[in-house]
Structure 1
Amino acid sequence: MKKLYLTILPIVMILCLAMLSSCSGSSDETENGGADDGILRITADKTVMQADGVERVTFTVRLGAKDVSEESTMNLILVKESGEENLDYGIRAFSTSVPGTYVFKARYYEGKSIVSENEVTIQANSTSGGVSYYHKLLGMQFTSIGCQACPALSTTLKAIQTEQPGRLAVASFHMDFGGMTDPMTIAATNNYRTNILGNFTGLPRLFYNLRKGTKDMISIKNQIEEELQNELKNYPASCGVAIESVYNASDRTVTVTGKLTSNVANTYRCLIYLVEDGIKYFQTNGGNDYTHNNVVRAVLSTSLNGDRFTGEINAGVESTMQRSYQLEPGWNVENMRVIVSMLTTLDGGKTYTCNNVNECKLGESVDYLYNE
């Protein structure tokens, strides 16, 4: 009997180990049951959301067992009828103000480019409308006195502003270029260029609402107009902007109060520029007394992404932010304007873009703009 027991015991132990191995899964499976097969897959924490510009979907991207959702070489791909739109690398969240159906894939680079074998469809449902604020765009023009093609973009923007009055607030950022030092250059220009807008090198360039976009807008009028309409269609405004500015001539100090009222509860940032028109100075391909307009003299906000309002802004409640600045000698107060933009994020805080903007003459004020 003792010999039989000693013979059976090893067999039972082997069977138990085999059963445990079967229950626990093989070594090439992930903790959540997915196979570690080297295939890229994308999932979402929800597939239905409100198109209020606030609620967001968060995606998870896995390469087999490895979570690559926040890797710097991962990007989401928005699949459209007109083609694919690549979102910025490292962004895994999505919000929208436009109702509709959105289809996403993912791409990850690890020695080679890998595209997810599956897609995720998100349904964004419409919300009840609030106040119909007029949507004005911020146009960020990058230029230089050393740029031969830059006057063409300025001419195009002036034509669009004439044809669509009140639709576009232009802020012109000067930079050194073509071996020439531009006296209207400010530090913010290069910071925007390298850290926010894709580190571009050529001039001229135009960006709407601090959004890098999918096309390099240089000076082609129909392309700039098309992208303007795309911006209005794809990123509607959820807030209104009003401005109060007071100028003290004794010490050349301007105090700007940006006012915000939103249709939805959301977090916002306030971005304030001082710009000057009518500056006579040399311009390559423009002459010695070329007129430079919309020149950004100063960014009053401490951050290029704007200064954040304290806490979440409640719907229908006005919030304000105030900044002051002493004008430099030589700046012509009579030709200066204030541009105030209200920024939000659609990707969980990775980037911030202008939701709506307004402008007024320095020392004056402007109320909220509404659709008629």
Structure 2
Amino acid sequence: MTKHLIGKTLLMAAVCLASVSCSGSGDDNEGPEGAVFKATVSPTTISADGVDAAVFDVRFRGTKLTADEVTFYNADDNTVVEMPGMKFTTTDPGTYSFYVKYANLAPQEGEEAEYTSGTLRINAVEGSAGNDEVIDLEPNDQTGLTATVSTTVVQAGVDQAIFVIRYDGEVLKEGYTIYDADTNRSITLPTVTKTSASGEEYELPYYQATKAEVRSFWIAYKTSNTLKNPVTVTAVDFAIPTRPADPQPGSTSFKRRSMLMQFTGLGCGYCPYMIASLHDVLAEESYGSRAVLGAIHTYSGDPYAPDEPLDSAFGVRSYPTVIFDMKSVLYNYNYNTNVTNLKNAIDTSTSEPAKAGIAVRTAVDGNTLVARMTIKAAVNGSFRVGAWVLEDGLSGTQSNYGMPDNGYNFNTHNNVVRKADSRDEGSTSFAGHDMGQLNAGDTADYMFVITLDSSWKKDNCHLLFFVTALDGSSYSVTNAIATNSLSEAVSFEYE
């Protein structure tokens, strides 16, 4: 469901010695084909009801091909198969295997005249294939008019974003009007029948895109409307990531990592003291395995500064500054003291059990990244989530007020925060998108859609995900993970 972040001021406890600082302002379905030609299918398990469909996505040089441009074959007997609309449906349960051929009529240098995909397998099962979103239709304690959707990201032509419209917590069956937020004109959406846990049926409106686009909607009911809080759905033309499997469904004892935010910059002459200290501490397995790092270049007009005002959001006034878990602060002193302080802070942070675990699966198509982040609560609490894009290998001459290089390459910058997706529109807090209240053992998903800047080298980029928990009146990080690349799956990690 779509949830909205309510901004809160983060309270930080500063741990400051006499400081020295600068002041500043795949699988079988992937196939062996190369990057120039790729064929996938999603979902790989469908209901054998003649309606549920597996949709093929075939691309050449990044452009999606149509059924008229490719030929489908039955992989069992090599016979040609018609695949209207690039979709497969059946009423017969079983496993179906296909491959795709594409004739390249104008090959460029290094290309083949014909491409053949790997084997694409689809399981058709009796009953439900488990592809439906679980939708809560029971009364809740919300007040006024509210609208949510079953998912905020859909694959065009495949997925449905199903609306649940409530007034004072009760699901409305009629009497409301849905408006397109771009035109403010009323629209009529198709409906699908869903049954609540108590057995009551509802005809719920849904949005299904025919192309990649972003659509927003607002609702009017009697004298109320959601004009200031529209529902937004992003449609992409590739398969949406699914949840990674949970290796220990009955456990809530998660591996704990601290999140370090390093505020730095190329023009900060004292920053090499902290850069060297962080490098050496995180190079030790006992500490590097318990922490993730994002380097935030916000000092004095740094060329790698993110668009988001992270320095002002966290009250940073001197450089270098390292903030742990969005709640405690370390300032610069000297190399040896920095190392001691960093180790003590990681020890203190990770001595607290994780209140939630993180699982992630991502997909990248062109410059569009979709990440499904799943959290699993270890305790009852209120949680938020965020996803940041980091880039390694950026070059820039680093000012240095006397820190010996000792083999460090201060002019190559890693873990640089390029994008911080953890602030809802209208909020000043970057503590994450609101996931609401969860009970111990509950899971919840958040779908991130991030546009990657064409100037970023995608092969050098990876992701940082974090979950914050409400502690008193503020949110602080209770767990974090970092991926090795933009396309990755990470399951829950247990102690």
| TM category, shorter | 0.5 to 0.7
User: Is it true that 1:205 corresponds to 2:205 in the alignment?
Assistant: no
Q: Secondary structure of 2:359's match?
A: strand
Q: For residue 339 of structure 1, what is the aligned residue in structure 2?
A: 464
Asked whether the equivalents of residues 290 and 346 of structure 2 are also in contact (C-alpha less than 8 Å), the reply is no
Asked whether the equivalents of residues 305 and 352 of structure 1 are also in contact (C-alpha less than 8 Å), the reply is yes
Which of 430, 435, 439 lines up with 1:314 in the alignment? 439
Q: For residue 170 of structure 1, what is the aligned residue in structure 2?
A: 293
Q: For residue 91 of structure 2, what is the aligned residue in structure 1?
A: none
Task: Output the CA distance in 2 between the equivalents of 1:156 and 1:275.
Answer: 20
Q: For residue 363 of structure 2, what is the aligned residue in structure 1?
A: 246
Displacement of 1:317 after TM fit? 2.3
| Counterparts of residues 5-44 of structure 1 (less than 5 Å) | none
Residue 340 of structure 1 aligns with an amino acid whose one-letter code is: F
Asked whether the equivalents of residues 243 and 358 of structure 1 are also in contact (C-alpha less than 8 Å), the reply is no
Displacement of 1:265 after TM fit? 2.1
Q: For residue 186 of structure 1, what is the aligned residue in structure 2?
A: 306
Q: For residue 354 of structure 2, what is the aligned residue in structure 1?
A: 237
Displacement of 1:289 after TM fit? 8.1
* Alpha-carbon displacement from aligned partner over 1:311-332 (angstroms, at most 9, x marks no partner): 3213212211011111112201
Q: Which has the larger radius of gyration?
A: 1
Displacement of 1:167 after TM fit? 1.2
Q: For residue 266 of structure 2, what is the aligned residue in structure 1?
A: 145
The number of residue pairs the alignment matches comes to 232
Structure 1 segments unaligned to the other structure (5+ residues): 1-71, 78-128
Q: For residue 431 of structure 2, what is the aligned residue in structure 1?
A: 305
Identity of aligned residues (%): 22
Asked whether the equivalents of residues 380 and 437 of structure 2 are also in contact (C-alpha less than 8 Å), the reply is yes
Task: Output the CA distance in 2 between the equivalents of 1:289 and 1:217.
Answer: 17
User: Is it true that 1:136 corresponds to 2:273 in the alignment?
Assistant: no
Q: Secondary structure of 2:295's match?
A: strand
Displacement of 1:130 after TM fit? 5.7
Displacement of 1:221 after TM fit? 0.3
* Alpha-carbon displacement from aligned partner over 1:95-151 (angstroms, at most 9, x marks no partner): xxxxxxxxxxxxxxxxxxxxxxxxxxxxxxxxxx96221101110000010011212
**Distance change in 2, residues 1:194/1:298 (3 Å):** same
Q: Secondary structure of 2:369's match?
A: strand
Q: For residue 373 of structure 2, what is the aligned residue in structure 1?
A: 258
Root-mean-square deviation (CA, aligned residues, Å) is 2.6
Q: Secondary structure of 2:354's match?
A: coil
Residue 201 of structure 1 aligns with an amino acid whose one-letter code is: R
Q: Secondary structure of 1:132's match?
A: coil
**Distance change in 2, residues 1:289/1:211 (3 Å):** closer
Displacement of 1:171 after TM fit? 0.5
Task: Output the CA distance in 2 between the equivalents of 1:288 and 1:209.
Answer: 27
Asked whether the equivalents of residues 355 and 469 of structure 2 are also in contact (C-alpha less than 8 Å), the reply is no
Task: Output the CA distance in 1 between the equivalents of 2:319 and 2:368.
Answer: 33
Task: Output the CA distance in 2 between the equivalents of 1:312 and 1:289.
Answer: 43
Displacement of 1:232 after TM fit? 2.0
Task: Output the CA distance in 1 between the equivalents of 2:332 and 2:468.
Answer: 22
| Counterparts of residues 213-224 of structure 1 (less than 5 Å) | 213=329, 215-216=330-331, 220-224=338-342
Q: For residue 84 of structure 2, what is the aligned residue in structure 1?
A: none
Q: Secondary structure of 1:228's match?
A: helix
Q: Secondary structure of 1:242's match?
A: strand
Task: Output the CA distance in 2 between the equivalents of 1:269 and 1:186.
Answer: 21
| Counterparts of residues 75-86 of structure 1 (less than 5 Å) | none
Asked whether the equivalents of residues 281 and 292 of structure 1 are also in contact (C-alpha less than 8 Å), the reply is yes
Displacement of 1:282 after TM fit? 1.8
Normalized against structure 2, the TM-score is what? 0.44
Greater share of residues in helix = 1
User: Is it true that 1:367 corresponds to 2:485 in the alignment?
Assistant: no
Displacement of 1:165 after TM fit? 3.3
Task: Output the CA distance in 1 between the equivalents of 2:323 and 2:423.
Answer: 21
Displacement of 1:194 after TM fit? 2.8
* Alpha-carbon displacement from aligned partner over 1:215-274 (angstroms, at most 9, x marks no partner): 5355510111112112222x321111111111113xx11111111001222110001100
Residue 158 of structure 1 aligns with an amino acid whose one-letter code is: H
**Distance change in 2, residues 1:208/1:217 (3 Å):** farther
Q: Secondary structure of 2:441's match?
A: coil
Asked whether the equivalents of residues 274 and 332 of structure 2 are also in contact (C-alpha less than 8 Å), the reply is no
Task: Output the CA distance in 1 between the equivalents of 2:442 and 2:317.
Answer: 42
Task: Output the CA distance in 2 between the equivalents of 1:338 and 1:192.
Answer: 17
Task: Output the CA distance in 1 between the equivalents of 2:370 and 2:348.
Answer: 34
Task: Output the CA distance in 2 between the equivalents of 1:195 and 1:328.
Answer: 23
Task: Output the CA distance in 1 between the equivalents of 2:307 and 2:267.
Answer: 17
Asked whether the equivalents of residues 384 and 467 of structure 2 are also in contact (C-alpha less than 8 Å), the reply is yes
**Distance change in 2, residues 1:289/1:192 (3 Å):** closer
**Distance change in 2, residues 1:328/1:195 (3 Å):** closer
Displacement of 1:193 after TM fit? 2.9
Residue 264 of structure 1 aligns with an amino acid whose one-letter code is: V
Asked whether the equivalents of residues 467 and 477 of structure 2 are also in contact (C-alpha less than 8 Å), the reply is yes
Task: Output the CA distance in 1 between the equivalents of 2:290 and 2:332.
Answer: 18
Q: Secondary structure of 1:183's match?
A: coil
Q: For residue 26 of structure 1, what is the aligned residue in structure 2?
A: none
Asked whether the equivalents of residues 301 and 323 of structure 1 are also in contact (C-alpha less than 8 Å), the reply is no
Q: For residue 154 of structure 2, what is the aligned residue in structure 1?
A: none
Q: For residue 358 of structure 1, what is the aligned residue in structure 2?
A: 481
Asked whether the equivalents of residues 298 and 311 of structure 2 are also in contact (C-alpha less than 8 Å), the reply is no
Displacement of 1:209 after TM fit? 0.6
Q: For residue 284 of structure 1, what is the aligned residue in structure 2?
A: 399
Asked whether the equivalents of residues 272 and 410 of structure 2 are also in contact (C-alpha less than 8 Å), the reply is no
**Distance change in 2, residues 1:169/1:289 (3 Å):** closer
